[in-house]
Amino acid sequence: SPGTEWVSAAERPGGSLLTRQLQELWRRSRGSLAPQRLLFEVTSASVVSERSSKYVLYTIYLIRSGQFDKAPATISRRYSDFEQLNRHLRCRFSCDMASVAFPRKRLRRNFTAETIAKRSRAFEQFLSHLHSIDEIRRSPEFLEFFFLPDLQAAQRLTCTGMYREALATWANAYRLQDRLGVCSSGRFLLTLAGLAVCHQELDQLSEAHGCCEQALQLLEAQGSHPLLGPFLQAHVHLAWKVGKDKRRSEARLQDLREAGLPLQQQPSLKECLIKEPLE
């Protein structure tokens, strides 16, 4: 399996050592059949007034059962976001969704403390129920409800040079994908690219180097990937700057050259980030 190849490649002499955190991530990302229990907790709800509309914004923490998270993974969503998720899932998984309860829309008293408290509990139960259903838990509709808005916001912030704000948003997207057990997907690689670029722009070079290392471990089992060349080139550059071993990445770049990949025309990680369509 790719997982076995990945770990053994990283443990070979001369291979970059797999960090304990990364091994842990990999074990978790492969555990999607028997997920770690994830709790969804509404930690606050605030009434937002915008010009002619008024709505409640619910902030939800994703918490691993039995573990203390120093930095929580959080989302903020309004009723209409949950309603849209509910609608999409009922279209695609009508049988599974038959037993899932969703709080009805009210015509009045939407902003009373009682309604907000009841809705908060209902949304926690709604997300927990969805997460307990295998097919739904692994569906793009469910997963992207959590991290796609952060990826889109982080991409916008990176494009406009707001690297500190972008870094916090990429980091939250990273934590969300980690909690949801999808640390081997293309979106996760893009998140690592975002983190690497922002760390580098903020002159946090060893952190940027660490993100490239992690991405290259994930790409170990893949012969070709659009981000492989850009990650290798960034890794070589950063390893040189921070005084770390770059021979393995140089050798992999040489293999790509010999396979006919025109590395001079390869986009940088930053260009890959900016061009990636995130719908």
Using CA atoms, how far apart are residues 265 and 112, in angstroms rounded to an integer? 58
Domains belonging to the chain, first-starting first, are: 36-138 (3.30.1520.10), 147-278 (1.25.40.10)
pLDDT of residue 24 exceeding 90 = no
| CA neighbours closer than 13 Å in the CB half-sphere of residue 46 | 7
Strand order in the sheet with 73-78: 38-50, 53-64, 73-78
Instruction: Express each pLDDT in 38-65 by its tens digit.
Output: 999 999 999 999 888 899 999 999 998 8
Does the pLDDT of residue 21 top 50, yes or no? no
CB proximity list for 198: less than 8 A, separation 6 or greater: 158, 163, 164, 166, 167, 170
Q: Tens of pLDDT along 176-225?
A: 999 999 987 889 999 999 999 999 999 999 999 999 999 999 998 776 78
